[in-house]
């Protein structure tokens, strides 16, 4: 009978797993020793498109270009370049709309003349920088449009004295340079008092002294119609647009972008009963005449476009803004873009302050090793010229990208989590790259375990020179003679393996059959193995017993499976079986009584099979058997068995990384569960039946610090050692487990059986106390 590890086994029956120690009979201490078995490589978490406001996120196939690009150039440019005090100058001064317009109309030393506007030069700078896409602010919060906007209230570059279409020239130049085209647009417009008083009954505080006025409701509606006309023109007049960078969906500068959705209607459709209707002249409809919301209109005309989350709709990708250095775990299961500016403001500022090369590289590399794309901003002056210092910094970064781009472009962060301030990893195909940061000292580096793979080459990425190395029995690679002096900001070492870094799904594209298919909607069996989480197989009704079967083509030595169900937070009950002859079946996974509602469920198993069959045995009312992805593996892998909170039986409080720290050595305490990611843990199974507990916020592992009885537990980067391996042994109280460290044999223990907030969690011999009992609760 093959051994199976699944979420159900973690929650309901870890006692069935092989453990070396039993409750009440543990040795007080055992000698320390290093793990000798190679830890398998982890699977890349799935990104599953979600639906918000009637519109589904783009599938992986349409966001992949952004993930692969890794570097973009942002351009903030508009009338605010005239006074040279940043893009919020109208608001911060404050300046009335009438006086602010003088920065365009009046011939002064602060006039926005655009007389040196050369978008081809901008595009060349982007290429010199190493960017693969650019984004231009077509309209910022001041309401000035960089194209001839056709709306009665428009203030735009099409009017005197400029009489130009900057967007048209920009799009043409960027496209000619072979770069992806991005447009920024802000629905905020400080020219409209109604922005601060959309109901006309409660005007928010504002710099211009607008007060409550019933007329503001209509003023806000007109503002909204200008937004709809703007977006309609931007997505219909300039050819293919790759990225729409929304900014400012919030209303009256309060709350979140999502809080403003009631007003802007940013989703698929508009509501005919909305209090701020959009005239047919400015809006758009679907083929059936139904009025489209902002993103509905965008997708109608630009079906492949990706968009940020800052309109009130959830967006195709997340955005992190500012120059803070990312810390903690890899951003997985989603696409994340970091944006920051190299100047003191986003728009042109005469103070001429520019970020240093070391600071910029620190932000960039810490993004890339966390699976993020980065867009770096420049602010051209009123003439249209990017300041020399800003351009120089970008070209200096471009020199690094020319030398080391293979370790950035098209890669993904990982496969292991980084160590804050010291190192991290990227990978692509058969090669992973170790990025050594300034905080890491020395010319020797040891990687985590490479599992079942073999090394074929280790090399310095910048010079191409081969490096000497050795591989330990636990699969870790020690690399010698690393050049840390040529580029200490990021010394990059490549390691090429004899197989892909990521275990391959051997079910992808194989022949698949099912007893039932929803063919009328295209939800056929083949969709479960097409590699896309945006498609699915679905049965024709909600009955149980429906099955899906994949033929792997030949008998293989299987190591596990992963299923992505159609719906999240839904209890699908099922079993997975394997067969060599399509006749006699062996159980691989038995989740026929599971209570799990996780959308993605992974199981590790070992068996010989050519055929793998999933049979759905239980469904909630109204739910059909429906699978987005059925993956099958024949290489060992580390399965993330889901996210959990770990609750102490004695206190009822959660295992918590103190102060939500992401640093190595941060201590573990107990604290009331509040939903913070520093209180959430992923379970990663080891080959011996034990687990690593990885903190969701930091990505670091729960670790026994040393052999000292009573020492406080801490988090640390994965070192491959068994002091980070924990056995989950059922306690005498049903539903609870002891967390027993493999190396020391000691339990995770709330010190002195305290119930106080902030009490340290220590290691202590098994004493049978409730303060050593933990409930592993699925989230």
Q: How far apart (Å, rounded) are the C-alpha atoms in residues 738 and 22? A: 10
**407, 435, 454: which is the final residue of a domain?**
407
Q: How confident is the model at residue 641 (pLDDT cuts 50, 70, 90)?
A: low
Q: How confident is the model at residue 37 (pLDDT cuts 50, 70, 90)?
A: low
pLDDT for the residue numbered 45:
83
**407, 441, 476: which is the final residue of a domain?**
407
Confirm whether 751 is domain-assigned. yes
Confirm whether 317 is domain-assigned. yes
**443, 468, 497: which is the final residue of a domain?**
497
pLDDT for the residue numbered 4:
31
**Same domain for 488 and 604:** no
Assess whether pLDDT exceeds 60 at residue 85: yes
Question: What pTM does this model have?
Answer: 0.86
Confirm whether 2 is domain-assigned. no
Q: How confident is the model at residue 759 (pLDDT cuts 50, 70, 90)?
A: very high
- Average pLDDT of the residues in 654-673: 96
Backbone angles phi, psi at 362, to 5 degrees: -60, -40
Q: How far apart (Å, rounded) are the C-alpha atoms in residues 346 and 322? A: 10
Assess whether pLDDT exceeds 60 at residue 26: no
Assess whether pLDDT exceeds 90 at residue 774: yes
Assess whether pLDDT exceeds 90 at residue 391: yes
**Same domain for 656 and 629:** no
**Same domain for 646 and 569:** no
Give the bridge partners for 461, in sequence order: none
**Same domain for 689 and 564:** no
Please state the three-class secondary structure of 181-219 as a single string: EEEEECCCCCCCHHHHCCCCCCCCCCCCCCCCCCCHHHH
**Same domain for 609 and 527:** yes
> Would you call the peptide bond into 279 cis, given omega within 30 degrees of 0 as the criterion?
no
Q: Look up residue 173 and give its DSSP letter.
A: H
Q: How confident is the model at residue 640 (pLDDT cuts 50, 70, 90)?
A: low
Assess whether pLDDT exceeds 90 at residue 13: no
Residue 652: other Cβ atoms inside 10 A: 12
Work out the mean pLDDT of the chain and round it to a whole number.
92
**Same domain for 80 and 34:** no
- Average pLDDT of the residues in 24-29: 24
Q: How confident is the model at residue 687 (pLDDT cuts 50, 70, 90)?
A: low
Ranges 3-12, 359-368, 628-637, 715-724: which has the least confidence? 3-12
> Would you call the peptide bond into 157 cis, given omega within 30 degrees of 0 as the criterion?
no
- Average pLDDT of the residues in 721-733: 90
Assess whether pLDDT exceeds 70 at residue 240: yes
Name every residue whose Cβ is closer than 8 Å to that of residue 388 and which is 6 or more positions away in sequence.
none
CB 267 within 8 A of CB 296: yes
**Same domain for 249 and 109:** yes
Q: How far apart (Å, rounded) are the C-alpha atoms in residues 739 and 730? A: 9
CATH number, position 745: 2.80.10.50
pLDDT for the residue numbered 637:
84
308-329 residue pLDDT tens: 999 999 999 999 999 999 988 8
Confirm whether 9 is domain-assigned. no
Give the residue among 364, 358, 342, 355 at the shortest CA–CA distance from 487.
Answer: 358
CATH number, position 212: 3.20.20.80
Confirm whether 488 is domain-assigned. yes
pLDDT for the residue numbered 25:
23
Q: How far apart (Å, rounded) are the C-alpha atoms in residues 6 and 604? A: 7
**Same domain for 683 and 618:** no
Report percent pLDDT > 70 for the chain. 94
Confirm whether 3 is domain-assigned. no
**Chain CA centroid to CA 310, Å:** 16
Give the residue among 578, 600, 574 at the shortest CA–CA distance from 588.
Answer: 578
Confirm whether 13 is domain-assigned. no
Q: How far apart (Å, rounded) are the C-alpha atoms in residues 99 and 604? A: 68
Q: How far apart (Å, rounded) are the C-alpha atoms in residues 334 and 695? A: 18
Assess whether pLDDT exceeds 60 at residue 18: no
39-49 residue pLDDT tens: 778 788 899 99
- Average pLDDT of the residues in 260-275: 98
Report percent pLDDT > 90 for the chain. 85
Confirm whether 224 is domain-assigned. yes
Q: How far apart (Å, rounded) are the C-alpha atoms in residues 565 and 705? A: 39
The residue ranking higher by pLDDT, 644 or 466, is: 466
**Same domain for 433 and 339:** no
pLDDT for the residue numbered 3:
28
**Same domain for 312 and 207:** yes
pLDDT for the residue numbered 175:
98
Q: How far apart (Å, rounded) are the C-alpha atoms in residues 639 and 102? A: 61
**Same domain for 237 and 186:** yes
Provide the terminal-to-terminal Cα distance of the chain, rounded to the nearest Å: 30
pLDDT for the residue numbered 417:
86
**Same domain for 442 and 376:** no
Would you mind telling me the total number of residues written for the chain in this entry? 779
- Average pLDDT of the residues in 48-71: 97
Assess whether pLDDT exceeds 90 at residue 349: yes
Q: In b/e form, how buried is each residue of 620-632, taking b as 16+ CB within 10 angstroms?
A: eeebbbbbbbbbb
Domain count of the fold of the chain: 4
pLDDT for the residue numbered 576:
97
> Which domain range does residue 697 map to?
21-41+641-778
Assess whether pLDDT exceeds 50 at residue 17: no
Assess whether pLDDT exceeds 50 at residue 9: no
572-615 residue pLDDT tens: 999 999 999 999 999 999 999 988 888 989 888 889 999 999 99
Ranges 27-31, 64-68, 132-136: which has the least confidence? 27-31
């Amino acid at each position: 009978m093959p051994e199976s590890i699944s979420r159900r086994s973690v929650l309901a029956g870890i006692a069935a797993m092989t453990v070396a120690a039993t409750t009440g009979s543990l040795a007080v201490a055992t000698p320390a020793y290093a793990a000798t078995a190679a830890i398998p490589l982890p699977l890349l978490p799935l990104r599953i498109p979600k639906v918000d406001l009637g519109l589904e996120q783009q599938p992986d196939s349409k966001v992949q270009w952004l993930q692969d690009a890794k570097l973009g150039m942002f351009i903030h440019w508009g009338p605010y370049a005239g006074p040279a005090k940043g893009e919020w100058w109208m608001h911060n001064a404050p300046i009335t709309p009438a006086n602010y317009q003088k920065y365009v109309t009046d011939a002064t030393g602060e006039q926005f003349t655009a007389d040196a506007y050369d978008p081809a030069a901008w595009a060349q700078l982007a290429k010199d920088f190493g960017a693969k896409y650019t984004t231009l602010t077509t309209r910022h919060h001041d309401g000035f449009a960089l194209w001839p906007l056709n709306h009665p209230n428009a203030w735009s570059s099409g009017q005197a004295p400029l009489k130009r279409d900057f967007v048209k020239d920009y799009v043409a130049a960027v496209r000619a340079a072979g770069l992806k085209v991005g447009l920024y647009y802000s629905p905020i417009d400080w020219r409209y008092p109604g922005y601060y008083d959309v109901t006309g009954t409660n005007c928010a505080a504002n710099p211009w002294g607008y007060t409550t006025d019933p007329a503001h409701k209509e003023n806000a509606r007109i503002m909204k119609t200008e937004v709809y006309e703007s977006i309609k023109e931007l997505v219909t007049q300039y050819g293919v647009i790759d990225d729409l960078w929304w900014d400012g969906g919030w209303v009256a500068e309060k709350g979140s972008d999502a809080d403003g959705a009631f007003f802007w209607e940013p989703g698929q459709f508009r509501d005919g009963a909305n209090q701020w209707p959009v005239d047919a002249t400015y809006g758009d409809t679907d083929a059936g005449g139904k009025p489209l919301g902002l993103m509905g209109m965008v997708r109608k005309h630009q079906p492949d476009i990706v968009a940020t989350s800052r309109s009130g709709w959830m967006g195709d990708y997340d955005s992190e803004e500012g120059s803070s250095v990312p810390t903690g775990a890899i951003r997985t299961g989603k696409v994340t873009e970091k944006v920051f500016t190299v100047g003191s403001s986003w728009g042109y500022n005469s103070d001429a302050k520019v970020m240093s090369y070391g600071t910029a590289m620190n932000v960039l590399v810490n993004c890339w090793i966390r699976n993020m794309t980065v867009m770096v901003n420049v602010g051209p002056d009123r003439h249209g010229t990017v300041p020399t210092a800003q351009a120089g910094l970008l070209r200096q970064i471009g020199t690094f990208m020319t030398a080391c781009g293979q370790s950035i472009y098209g890669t993904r962060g990982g496969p292991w989590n980084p160590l804050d301030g010291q190192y991290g990893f990227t990978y692509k195909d058969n090669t992973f790259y170790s990025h050594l940061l300034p905080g890491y000292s020395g010319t020797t580096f040891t990687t985590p375990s490479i599992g079942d793979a073999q090394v074929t080459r280790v090399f310095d990425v910048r010079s191409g020179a081969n490096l000497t190395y050795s591989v330990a029995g636990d699969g870790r690679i020690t690399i010698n003679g690393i050049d840390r002096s040529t580029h200490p900001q990021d010394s990059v070492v490549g390691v090429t393996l004899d197989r892909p870094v990521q275990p391959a799904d051997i079910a992808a594209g194989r022949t698949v059959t099912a007893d039932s298919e929803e063919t009328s909607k295209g939800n056929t069996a083949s969709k479960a193995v097409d590699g896309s989480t945006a498609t699915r197989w679905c049965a024709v009704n909600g009955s149980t017993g429906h099955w899906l079967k994949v033929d792997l083509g030949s008998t293989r030595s299987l190591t596990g499976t992963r299923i992505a169900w159609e719906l999240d937070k839904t209890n699908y009950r099922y079993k997975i079986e394997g067969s060599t002859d399509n006749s006699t079946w062996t159980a691989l996974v038995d989740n026929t009584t599971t209570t799990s509602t996780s959308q993605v469920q992974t199981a590790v198993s070992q068996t010989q099979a050519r055929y793998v069959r999933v049979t759905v045995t239980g469904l909630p009312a109204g739910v059909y058997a429906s699978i987005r992805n059925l993956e099958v593996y024949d290489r060992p892998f580390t399965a993330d068995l889901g996210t959990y909170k770990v609750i102490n039986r004695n206190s009822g409080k959660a295992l918590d990384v103190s102060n939500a720290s992401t640093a190595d050595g941060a201590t573990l305490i107990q604290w009331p569960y509040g939903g913070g990611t520093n209180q959430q843990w992923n379970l990663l199974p080891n080959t011996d039946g034990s687990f690593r507990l990885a903190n969701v916020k930091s990505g670091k592992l729960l670790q026994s610090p040393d052999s000292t009885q009573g020492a406080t537990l801490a988090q640390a980067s994965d070192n491959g050692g068994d002091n980070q391996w924990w056995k989950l042994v059922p306690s005498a109280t049903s539903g609870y487990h002891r967390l027993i460290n493999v190396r020391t044999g000691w339990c995770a223990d709330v010190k002195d059986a305290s119930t106080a907030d902030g009490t340290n969690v220590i290691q202590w011999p098994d004493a049978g106390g409730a303060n050593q009992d933990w409930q592993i609760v699925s989230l």
